[in-house]
Structure 1
C-alpha cells in the first residue's frame, strides 16, 4: 500500500515541477537606463526598443522580450571602460520532450551620447543573465 502512494506522490511532484518549469514570468518592458526611461514594445511581432525621444529601434528578436534585471529587480547595467551597457533577452523553450531553449540576447550601450545596439548573441541556455563578458564581447572596442 505504501508503494502506490509513494508512486503517486512522486508523479505529482514531477507534474508540479514541469508546470513550474513551463511557467514564465511576464516580461519586464520598462526600465530606466542612465536616468532615461526605456520601453520594449511589440511592433508587428518584433521586439522594439522605445527611447526617451519616442524613437524606435527594432531589435533582432521576436516578441516577447525582456530587459535583464539585477537581484533588486532593477535594470542590470554593466560598465566597461566607463561605458554603461544593458541587455534585452528572449528565451524560447523548445517543444517537448526537449528541455532545451534558444536564448537570444542583445547588448545595448550608451556611447558618445547615443545608444548603440550590438548584434544578437545566441545560446542554448534556458536562463537569463550571464556574466559581464556577454555584455561586452558583442561590441568592437
Structure 2
C-alpha cells in the first residue's frame, strides 16, 4: 500500500513503531495514529494518495483494514483523517467502518471532523 507521498513540498511517510501506525513529516515529531501497523494512505482511482481540498486546507486519510473471521468476507477498517491547514497537521479521531480497504471512501469521511470544528468556531 501507499506509505509515502509529498504534500505542500514536504515528504510524509507511515512507519511501524512497536506495532502502531506512525505518521512522519520531515522536520516534525512523529504522530502516533489510533491504529495498528500495517497502515496506508487512502488512494484515489489513479492509485495516488487521495487529497480532498476543503476550506483552504488539504485533507488525506490513513487507513487499516483487517479481514473478519470466516465465513465473513468483510473487513473492519480504521480510518483517520489528517488535515494540513496553515502548515500544521491536525489529526481527526479515528472511526471504524465495515468494509475492506483500500476503498473510495465518501468525502464526508475525510472532512466530517474538520467541518464540525469549523462550525463550532463560527458560532
Matches within 5 A, 1:69-80: 69-80=43-54
1:130 to 96, 102, 105: 105
Q: TM-score, normalised by structure 2?
A: 0.87
**Alpha-carbon distance, 1:134 to partner:** 0.7
CA distance in 2 between partners of 1:35 and 1:72 (Å):
21
Structure 1, unmatched stretches of 5+, are 1-26
CA distance in 2 between partners of 1:73 and 1:129 (Å):
10
Q: Which has the higher helix share?
A: 1
Q: Which has the higher strand share?
A: 2
Aligned residues: 115
Structure possessing the higher relative contact order (Cα contacts under 8 Å, 6 or more residues apart): 2
Match of 1:83 in 2: 57
**Alpha-carbon distance, 1:112 to partner:** 2.6
Q: How much is the aligned-residue C-alpha RMSD, in angstroms?
A: 1.3
Is the 1:77–1:84 contact (alpha carbons within 8 Å) kept by the matching residues of 2?
yes
Higher Rg: 1
Q: TM-score, normalised by structure 1?
A: 0.76
Matches within 5 A, 1:12-51: 27-51=1-25
